[in-house]
Structure 1
Amino acid sequence: MRSPLINVMVKAVTKAARGLKRDFGEVENLQVSKKGPADFVSQADLKAEKILIEELKKARPEIGFLMEESAGKDEKLTDAPTWVGDPLDGTANFLHGLPHFAVSLALVERKEPIAAVIYDPIKDELFIAERGQGAFLNDHRLRVSGRRRLEQALLATGIPFKGKKDHGLFLKELEAAMSETAGVRRWGSAALDLAYVAAGRYDGYWERSLDPWDWAAGVLLVREAGGFVTQIDGRAFDVEGPSVAAANADLHLGMRKLLSKREKSA
């Protein structure tokens, strides 16, 4: 049984996703404004965020917001309960007609995610998690993968693009992962990358320099599916950054060591 909190979140996320799904079929006609180097925001993105905020305010008016499109440049989380969300995680995919994107929403309290919903409207996959209650995909319980050796592991990551830092460091990390694992994937949605780790589709995931709305929901999914999440250097995960490393218990340390060696040599 879903809790009232999860029901509120699912209703808001799925309503926001309806418009995205409609607009995805008309990508060429979307109005697009440039937001930064190689980083675009569409009218569909803004509409989805507006719907999210409206629905959540109606249900829980006492909770604040930290959303990608409306967040101020220097806006930070406090200890108060806060909705942290990305109305369109995978914007570049969306704008290029690639059917891999999601609406991501987490409730964060004392800077820790306590409830999460990630919805992929194209595949109709709904990932949910609540602290202490497990993680689920379309109401089927999730568990991280059981692979124990890096040479068998399929990892996911995000690649820094124009305007982002650490290109050289990433190339060193990628070289290390390529040489020791079964492969690396970059699909362009951090929320879905983490959801796929929770579902056992990926064995591990790492990335740097993201924002709270990129990974808050996915981190809770991995934890509730039995996985481990820290920063790449092993410190406790911080929803405000600067990095994330997520995997099952058997692979987590080995993956981190592999990546941390390259960070020290960069």
Structure 2
Amino acid sequence: MAGRVATSFVGKTAQRWDKPAGAGPVTEADMAVNSLLESVLRNARPEYGWLSEETEDSEARLSNETVFIIDPIDGTRSFVEGSRTWAHSIGIAHRGQITAAAVYLPMRDRLYTAAQGRGAFLNGVPITVSGVTALDDAAVLATKPNMDPKFWPRGVPGFDRAHRPSLAYRLALVAEGRFDAMLTFRPSWEWDIAAGALIVTEAGGTCTDKAGRPLMFNNPHPTLNGVIAGGAALHGDVLGALDA
């Protein structure tokens, strides 16, 4: 349903504007999907709190044990450019932990899902992270600024770097085993990470902040201290390379 709403807009001609403080673009499609999801999900679970990129945040959610964490369109720039690599990202957090998740790419017909303790799936088929264990042998999703030597006291690793604009999709690709790891050292909004983080862990991987600490959601300021995701051994190799 969300995919049909989003694809009813033409990315390059959809009305768009820039958020304050350089927070990036938003389009009428983002807002339409947000309205749809809020109506459907909150009517279904009125006792849940709500955190979405496109809804003004409220401290009221902090009093809810269970919260929807939503990015109506993750990768809005990609959507505007007419690319196919944007996604809907939906997570449910209970007492700070993600318990159910979906990442859907309507233009690629790819639906990634996970529920706590039940595994991860792509279009209903189980998925697992890759078995690569050495960082220099890995294919890693990361933006170019993450390769700055200041982050790598033991030297910049020789892994193959690639990029996708949607953080949720990057995490899903790691869960699927198409890439071995993903990392971002910038503060990351919870709605970009929530769903993908559970999909990675349910696919057998490890997903933490950039210091190796567990991810906690529904924070008063809904950001995380970067993200590192991959198979357990590879995740440890990344942390080792970052540790001065």
**TM-score, normalised by the number of residues in structure 1:** 0.82
Tell me the equivalent position of 1:19.
5
Root-mean-square deviation over aligned CA pairs: 2.3
Q: What's the CA shift for 1:77? A: 4.4
Query: Would the alpha carbon gap of residues 189 and 251 (structure 1) be closer, same or farther in structure 2, given more than 3 Å must change?
Result: same
Tell me the equivalent position of 1:109.
94
Tell me the equivalent position of 2:123.
138
Task: Give the share of equivalent positions with the same residue, in percent.
Answer: 32
SS of residue in 1 equivalent to 2:213: coil
Post-superposition, which runs of at least 4 consecutive aligned residues in structure 1 deviate over 3 A?
73-79, 173-179
Structure number with the higher helix fraction is 1
How many residues are paired up?
237
1:203-249 deviation per Cα after TM superposition (whole angstroms, max 9, x unaligned): 11111311110101000001100001122222222334112111101
Kept in 2, the 8 Å contact 1:177–1:183? The answer is: no
Q: What's the CA shift for 1:201? A: 1.0
Kept in 1, the 8 Å contact 2:149–2:155? The answer is: no
Tell me the equivalent position of 2:175.
198
Tell me the equivalent position of 1:251.
234
1:215-234 to structure 2, matched below 5 A, reads 215-234=193-212
1:1-266 to structure 2, matched below 5 A, reads 15-23=1-9, 26-36=10-20, 37=22, 39-72=24-57, 77-78=62-63, 80-158=65-143, 171-172=148-149, 179-207=156-184, 208-239=186-217, 240-261=223-244
Query: Would the alpha carbon gap of residues 56 and 65 (structure 1) be closer, same or farther in structure 2, given more than 3 Å must change?
Result: same
Bigger shift: 83-92 or 183-192? Answer: 183-192
Distance in 2 (alpha carbons) for counterparts of 1:178 and 1:221: 31
Q: What's the CA shift for 1:170? A: 5.7
1:62-102 deviation per Cα after TM superposition (whole angstroms, max 9, x unaligned): 21210111132888745510000100000011111221100
Bigger shift: 34-43 or 177-186? Answer: 177-186
Query: Would the alpha carbon gap of residues 109 and 248 (structure 1) be closer, same or farther in structure 2, given more than 3 Å must change?
Result: same
Q: What's the CA shift for 1:177? A: 10
Kept in 2, the 8 Å contact 1:84–1:107? The answer is: yes
Aligned AA (1:204): A
Q: What's the CA shift for 1:173? A: 6.2
Residue segments in structure 1 that go unaligned for 5+ positions in a row: 1-14, 160-166, 262-266
Kept in 1, the 8 Å contact 2:85–2:105? The answer is: yes
Distance in 1 (alpha carbons) for counterparts of 2:176 and 2:150: 24
Kept in 1, the 8 Å contact 2:49–2:68? The answer is: yes
Distance in 1 (alpha carbons) for counterparts of 2:158 and 2:103: 27
SS of residue in 2 equivalent to 1:180: coil
Query: Would the alpha carbon gap of residues 202 and 51 (structure 1) be closer, same or farther in structure 2, given more than 3 Å must change?
Result: same
Query: Would the alpha carbon gap of residues 76 and 172 (structure 1) be closer, same or farther in structure 2, given more than 3 Å must change?
Result: farther
Distance in 1 (alpha carbons) for counterparts of 2:41 and 2:242: 39
Distance in 2 (alpha carbons) for counterparts of 1:245 and 1:231: 6
**TM-score, normalised by the number of residues in structure 2:** 0.89
